[in-house]
Amino acid sequence: MSASVRLLRRQMQGQLRTTEWRALLIATWIAITLTTLLSLLGDRLERGLIRESASVLGADMVLSSQRPIQDLRRQQAADAGLNSTSVIQFPSMISAGDDMMLSSVRIVQSPYPLRGQIQTRPAQETDIPEPGHAWVEARVMSQLGLSIGDKIELGYTELIVNAELISSPDRGSGFRSFSPQILVNEADLDASGILAPGSRAEFRLLLSGSTEQVNSFTLFLNESLGDEERLFTLQSDQPMGGGALASALNYLKLTSLITLLLSALTIFLSLKRFSQSQHLRCALLLSLGMTQRSMVMLYLMQLLLAWAVLALIGSLTGIALEQMVSRWLDELLPQSLPAPALWRYFTGAGVGLALLVLLGLPPTLGLSKVSVSALFRDEDIRTERRGLVLQLICALLLLAVLLSFLEAPIAALILLLFLLIGGAVLGSIAQFCLKHLATPLSKRLLLGRLLVMRLRQQRQWHRLQSAVAILLLTLLSVVWVSRTDLLEDWQAQIPDDTPNYFVVNIQPWQTEGLQSFLDNANVSAEFFPMVRGRITTLNGAPIHAQMTPEQLEHNTLNRELNLSWSNHAPTHNTMVEGQWWQGETTEPLISVEAEMAEILGLKLGDVLGFDLAGLEVEAQIANLRGVEWTSFQPNFYVIFDEATLNQFPATYITSFRLAQEQQELANQLIREFPSLTLIDIDQMLLQLSQWLTRLGDSSALILALSLICGSMLMLLTLQQALDQRRYEGALLQTLGANAKQTQHLDLLELMLLGALCGLMAAIIAEGVIALLYIHLLDIAPQLHLGLWLALPLASFAFFTVSGALLRKRLTLDQCYRLLRAH
Amino acid sequence: MTLLTPDGFILEAQNVAKSFPAQEQRLELFSALSLQVKPGESLAIIGRSGAGKSTLLSLLAGLDQPSAGHIKIAGQDLSSMDDAQRAAFRSQYISFIFQSFHLLPELSALDNVRLPLEIRGDEQAEQQALKWLKEVGLEKRVHHYPSQLSGGEQQRVAIARAFVTSPQLLFADEPTGNLDDETGQQIIEQLFTLNAEHKTTLILITHDPDLASRCQRCVTLNNGHLTERSL
């Protein structure tokens, strides 16, 4: 074995016992693990759900509309040489015996899909279910207790489940792509009686052809796209499905930025301390005949060797964690995730290498500047402050690597700046508070004045420690609370009589029967008609000409609205301005939601023009209403007088509350009115809470890694600080203080720092959570007493215990020796 | 084979100056030092703290460049060499013994001693190292680590490490500074015995006059001047 290899091996073995080398290894391991986990998970999610691909769209392009797509479109596609097929997708209650569940039904016709494949178990010979049959996803099978051959009821028709749907493209857009899905032949649609004019459904025309045909038809469609139509192509920016998931993934990646930054900072400080501790050693190696080049190579080899081992361990840990997280998500995801690209397995190792090389290169090259003469002078050697340019270049390169990994560079850069500035501000505030906290103590304690002096001397260290501790504790608390408490607190403040069921797609002729069904069960419900329409004019002039770009982006102006009519004000709305019309009106009148009116600058007496299925209707604003959108009541931006709107085809909507013991009524309702769509809000909230919990779990996992990294960083700086204090302590002991007093001085400083960090974290976390309550959930903020207790205590304990463990008590003899060595 | 300057010296310093940048002007440690050392000679450089003994040693050993003047070792002018050449030259001709021993803590006594040979690619490294550890009386401690050795033993390992490469010049910086008197005496005995046996040129820095008196020559560094002291 050559000298270099032996030296390398021994050197690594010896350095494994040092805090800086351990911190370096752990931080690198975490960075590799985390990047592997996110790279794999991100790729699988994107491949499976988010990224546009023919196999996700089920076609080369998809025309989607909230209204039936005109035959003309299909004819135009045929003229352009494209293949096409129609899909209708809507939510519906599916029942089997006494069980029922809300599912997303896809009514399809052959050929389907145009691109990609449907996988079923058992495999089927036909591309879509035969009439009278349905293919359903595993979640439906398990919740309804179905086996192959069992029957399900869809509206008025019964279908035999002859296959389990394993995966299928064209899952639809938005949240519906996550609902459990059922595939049904279009021949069964009429018999089900579910879809009537005005029913809520997404109508899609799937199209495929050569690239040229698709491109030219895309151009043609873009020019003639109707208000209600949307076009999805392989190149479109807007994802067909998984938008929420893409956001969640970005959120996880941004969370990971904090961990990566902490790892980078830990690695940087470890390497800095490590290289400083190696100066004498390097001088010695040079004195023994080693060339500067060999010595730098020795240290680079050491870093590379450490990287190789960590790349293996970190990648394996990352893969294991990815398996765990995708298993958590699996039950919530519509279909199992595809395997990631092979190179994604190496992302973590790549980022780890970038971290070690870019952070390690400047201090390692700095080692070559060490002079053997340092060994004669026995003094603290400092290499010259050369290489600043190299450090800067390396830091920028590293930043580029990290940002490109996160794939959202702007957001990451903003977060980075926020963290740096926020950290600096928090650190300064903490240091300021610490100074003022200690001043009163200085008169009461024996070494109080020393404590104040030390707090002044150590201010930079305190700023760094407290910034890291406060940021970490705050983030952990917010994630922890939002994981479960946020939704629970929101649910808890909902009044007991808040409706928990919506019924939509009620046809006019069904209202009477449904009303008496509910009356018989003593369930009160108000019915509201719904007509779809779009706001086109204000006081006779086109709306676009009168509104600012910001106003035009308002939710009510860029889509079709659900309009209603009523001759009396809804009981759950409040009158803000004006009066409700009495009885029959002579001219068309409308009631407008007050917030919308304020944003769009609408006043009483203004006349709004509407396009209702091609007919223009104008109506004057008679009053403004206050609406509680989270009341789970049918709410509308615009309500007409009855006479103006009742001539248009409408469906009805209602909501009501069923107590726990009345749940059976929901089943009865579906049996009696199979074509209605019953939406169970409790079930939807449950699904939402599952998502929040899983997302919370995933980010808590990432933050746990941040916590390990942050703790390493704090321990590292703590030890560095304690080393400096050893000299001071030794001096004090030789001047007459006893070991206990110097220990108390160290621990008092750490206790103050710990408790203060915890307290500040509790204040900030509570503030952030209060903002979430006010702005996100629109409820009154609540105090989380647990945080106020747990954070200061945990932080106090961490600083005190680690300080006590790291601090070694000095005997007087050791003090003399330490002072002599200085 | 010992290479010498034309005048027969192993080391020759001519009008060596060394100054450092201070706040506004340069601080001159010494301006025109000259010194000649013959092969096999032992020379002590003494002086009070801060006189510049360590700086002079750094210059003589080619670890630092003089501000002016020339230093020749084994007939070669160090000032004409670049860093890498000086390092290679040093590794061939020079060894050091330090006040603080400076052993690598994770290597055994044997590994510490054979390290300089292995760095040079010597295949006989282990045998040589064992031979030298035996010479310094540590044959039973070859596999001990520095932390398991006393201060005197550690310095003996350092002496073995210094001699194992058969240097022509040996620089020793306060070799007994970290040892008690008795151990210090034993170490000095050993150092001078080995020096005499192997005809190594020894340049020793100390502020102990007794130790200096063991050398064949002694020079005092004071106010930037070297004065030969009679022994």
* pLDDT the model gives residue A762: 94
User: With the C-alpha atoms ordered B179, B181, B182, B187, is the resulting torsion angle positive or negative?
Assistant: positive
Find the range with the poorest average confidence among A290-299, A312-321, B138-147. A290-299
Position A406 confidence tier, pLDDT thresholds 50, 70, 90:
confident
- DSSP tag of A773: I
Out of A176-190, A547-561, A720-734, B150-164, pick the least confident: A720-734
Query: Sorting pLDDT into bands at 50, 70 and 90, what band is A175?
Result: low
**Total residue count of chain A as it appears in this document:** 822
Statement to judge: residues A543 and A576 lie in one domain: yes
**Set of chain A residues whose Cβ sits within 8 Å of the Cβ of B100:** 375, 378
φ, ψ for residue B174 (rounded to 5)? 40, 60
CA atoms within 13 A on the CB side of B60: 30
> How do A638-640 and B169-173 pair as beta strands?
unpaired
Amino acid of residue A196: A
Note whether residue A500 is domain-resident. Answer: no
Q: Please indicate, yes or no, whether residues A343 and A383 belong to a single structural domain of this protein.
A: yes
pLDDT digits (tens, 9 = 90+) for A189-226: 888 888 877 777 889 999 998 888 888 898 888 888 87
Same domain, A259 and A364: yes
Q: Please check whether residue A362 is in contact with residue A387, taking contact to mean a CB–CB distance below 8 angstroms.
A: yes
d(CA A83, CA A217): 12
Cβ distance of A373 and B107 shorter than 8 Å: no
Average pLDDT, chain A: 82
Domain residues for the domain of A531 are 524-656
Which H helix or E strand runs over A163? strand A157-167
- Which structure tokens are listed for A798? 């961490």
> What is the rounded CA–CA span in Å between residue A441 and residue A662?
65
Contact B161 A14 (CB under 8 A): no
User: Rounded to whole angstroms, how far apart are CA atoms B167 and B96?
Assistant: 9
Give the bridge partners for A83, in sequence order.
A208
Claim to verify: residue A347 and residue A453 sit in the same structural domain: no
Note whether B27 and B18 are within 8 A (CB): no
Instruction: Give pLDDT, residue A163.
Output: 92
What residues in B contact A8, CB-CB < 8 Å? Answer: none
Domain over B11-229 is classified CATH 2.40.50.220: no
By Cβ distance, the residue of B61, B91, B173 closest to A289 is B91
Q: Could you tell me if A45 and A77 lie in one domain?
A: no
List the single residue in A with minimal CA-CA distance to B50: A377
End of a domain among A238, A260, A280?
A238
| Residue A505 DSSP one-character state | E
Residue of B nearest to A371 (CA): B63
Q: How far apart are CA B140 and CA A811, in angstroms?
A: 33
Report helix, strand or coil for B81.
Answer: coil
Three-state secondary structure call for residue A586: coil
Last residue of a domain, one of A608, A632, A656: A656
| CA A47 to centroid of chain Cα atoms | 18
**Whether B58 and A373 lie within 8 Å, measured CB to CB:** yes
Q: Which of A576-580, A731-735, B173-177 has the lowest mean pLDDT?
A: A731-735
Phi and psi dihedrals of A444, rounded to 5?
-95, -25
Q: Where are the domains of chain B?
A: 11-229
Confidence of residue A377 (pLDDT cuts 50, 70, 90): low
Domain membership flag for residue A710: no
Q: Are residues A83 and A208 in the same domain?
A: yes
Model pLDDT for residues A48-98, shown as the tens digit of each residue: 665 545 566 788 888 888 888 888 889 999 999 999 999 999 888 888 887
Residue A511 has pLDDT above 50, yes or no: yes
Q: Which residue has the tokens 């006081």?
A: A539
Residue A431: Cβ-neighbour burial (10 angstroms; 0-12, 13-18, 19+)? buried
pLDDT tens for residues A474-484? Answer: 888 887 777 66
Output the six-digit token pair for A454. 């030390």
Strands B68-73 and B11-21: antiparallel
Chain segment B76-119, per-residue pLDDT in tens = 888 888 877 887 788 788 888 888 888 888 788 998 898 888 88
Asked if A292's CB is within 8 angstroms of B96's CB, the reply is: no
Phi, psi dihedral angles at A77 (to 5 degrees): -65, -40
Query: Is the confidence at residue A238, as pLDDT, over 50?
Result: no
Question: Which residues from B are below 8 Å from A when comparing CB atoms?
Answer: 54-55, 57-58, 61, 63-64, 83-84, 87-88, 90-91, 96, 98-100, 102, 104-107, 111, 114-116, 118-121, 125, 161, 165, 173, 205
Range A668-674 average pLDDT: 81
Average pLDDT of the residues in A127-144 = 88
For residue B30, how far is the Cα from the chain centroid?
A: 21
Give me the pLDDT at residue A816, please: 60
Contact A695, A540 (CB under 8 A): no
Q: Per-residue pLDDT tens for A687-701? A: 667 767 777 777 777
Which residues of chain A are within 8 Å of residue B63 when distances are taken between CB atoms? Answer: 371-373
CB-CB under 8 Å, A291 with B57: no
How would DSSP label each residue in A432-465?
Answer: HHHHHHHHHHHHHSTTHHHHHHHHHHTHHHHHHH
3 state SS of A582: coil
Q: What is the pLDDT of residue A817?
A: 62
A vs B, Cβ pairs < 8 A, gives 82
Cα distances (Å, whole numbers) of residue A819 to A50, A118, A811: 64, 78, 12
Q: What is the pLDDT of residue A361?
A: 87
Whether residue A144 is found in the same domain as residue A259: no
Q: Is the pLDDT of residue A776 over 60?
A: yes
The domain boundary residue, chosen from A238, A256, A277: A238
Confidence at residue A241, expressed as pLDDT on a 0 to 100 scale: 46
> Quick one: pLDDT at residue A109?
93
Residue A708 lies in a domain: no
Interchain CB distance below 8 Å, A292 and B87: yes
Distance (Å) from the C-alpha of residue A439 to the closest C-alpha of chain B?
38
Average pLDDT (A780-791) is: 87
Residue A591 pLDDT grade (very low, low, confident, very high; cuts 50, 70, 90) = very high
- Is the C-alpha dihedral spanning A24, A26, A28, A31 positive or negative? negative
% chain A with pLDDT above 90:
19
Q: Which of A21, A288, A297 to mutate to test the interface with B (most CBs of B within 10 A)?
A: A288
Give the pLDDT confidence score for residue A484 in this predicted structure.
Answer: 67
Binary contact (A286, B111; C-beta < 8 A): no
3-state SS record for A14-66: HHCCCHHHHHHHHHHHHHHHHHHHHHHHHHHHHHHHHCCCHHHHCCCEEEEEC
* Interhelix angle B151-163/B181-198, nearest 10 degrees: 10
Cα within 13 Å of Cα(A418), Cβ side: 10
Least confident of A226-230, A607-611, B97-101: A226-230
> Strand ranges (DSSP E) for chain B?
11-21, 26-37, 42-46, 68-73, 76-77, 94-97, 169-173, 201-206, 217-222, 225-229
CA distance A103 to A109: 19
A3-15 vs A292-330: helix crossing angle, rounded to 10: 50
Q: Compute φ and ψ for A285, nearest 5 degrees.
A: -60, -40
Q: Which residues of B touch A289 (CB under 8 A)?
A: 87, 90-91, 116, 119-120, 165
Give yes or no for a contact between A468 and A673, defined as CB atoms under 8 angstroms apart: no
Q: Are residues A428 and A391 in the same domain?
A: no
Tell me which of A21, A282, A295, A372 to substitute to probe the interface with B (most B C-beta atoms closer than 10 Å): A372
CA distance A380 to chain B (A): 14
Biggest CA-to-CA distance, chain B: 57
Asked if the structure places residue A341 within a domain, the reply is yes
d(CA A640, CA B228): 116
Q: Are the beta carbons of A298 and A4 closer than 8 angstroms?
A: yes
Nearest residue in B to A278, CA atom = B104
- The alpha carbon of residue B9 is apart from the nearest alpha carbon of chain A, in Å, by 23
In this structure, are A254 and A366 located in the same domain?
yes
Question: Which token pair is A760?
Answer: 């500040």
The string of DSSP letters for B140-204 reads: GGTT--GGGS-HHHHHHHHHHHHHTT--SEEEEESTTTTS-HHHHHHHHHHHHHHHHHHT-EEEE
- Identify which of A334, A329, A176 has the alpha carbon closest to the alpha carbon of residue A252: A329
- Report the pLDDT value the prediction gives residue A239, as an integer from 0 to 100: 45
Residue A352 belongs to some domain of the structure: yes
Identify whether residues A642 and A761 lie together within a single domain: no
Distance from CA of B231 to the nearest CA of A (A): 25
Residues 6+ apart with CB under 8 A from B196: none
Is a pLDDT exceeding 60 seen at residue A612?
Answer: yes
User: Would you call B118 and A373 a contact, using CB atoms and an 8 Å cutoff?
Assistant: no
Contact at CB, A6 and B91, closer than 8 angstroms: no
From the list B54, B99, B116, the residue facing A289 with the nearest CB is: B116
Which among A4, A14, A287 is the nearest to B96, CB-wise?
A: A287
Residue in this structure with the two tokens 């769509």, named with its chain if needed: A677
CA A417/CA B189 separation, integer angstroms: 65
Within this chain, do residues A100 and A30 fall inside the same structural domain, yes or no?
Answer: no
Greater model confidence, A415 or B113: B113
**Is the pLDDT at A788 greater than 80, yes or no?**
yes
Residues A722, A807: contact at Cβ < 8 Å? Answer: yes
| Closest to A795 measured CA to CA, from A762, A758, A764, A751 | A758
B113: distance to nearest CA of chain A, Å?
10
**What is the distance in angstroms between the Cα of A280 and the nearest Cα belonging to chain B?**
8
Confidence at residue A353, expressed as pLDDT on a 0 to 100 scale: 93
Residue of B nearest to A298 (CA): B119
Of B98, B105, B161, the CB nearest to A375: B98
CB contact under 8 A, A7 and B115: yes
Contact B81, B153 (CB under 8 A): no
A chain contacts of residue B90, beta-carbon cutoff 8 Å: 287, 289
Tokens of residue B215, six digits: 């050398």
Chain B residues within 8 A of A3 when measuring between CB atoms: 114-115, 118-119, 121, 125
What's the number of domains chain A is made of? 4
Select from B57, B83, B115 the Cβ nearest to the Cβ of A3. B115
Q: How many helices (H) and strands (E) does chain A have?
A: 26, 21
Q: What is the pLDDT of residue A525?
A: 86
**B93: closest chain A residue by CA:** A289
Least CB-CB distance to A289: which of B100, B114, B119? B119
Nearest CA in chain A to B55: A373
d(CA A554, CA A595): 11
Alpha-carbon distance of A499 to A630, in angstroms, equals 11
- For residues A187 and A269, membership in a common domain is answered with no
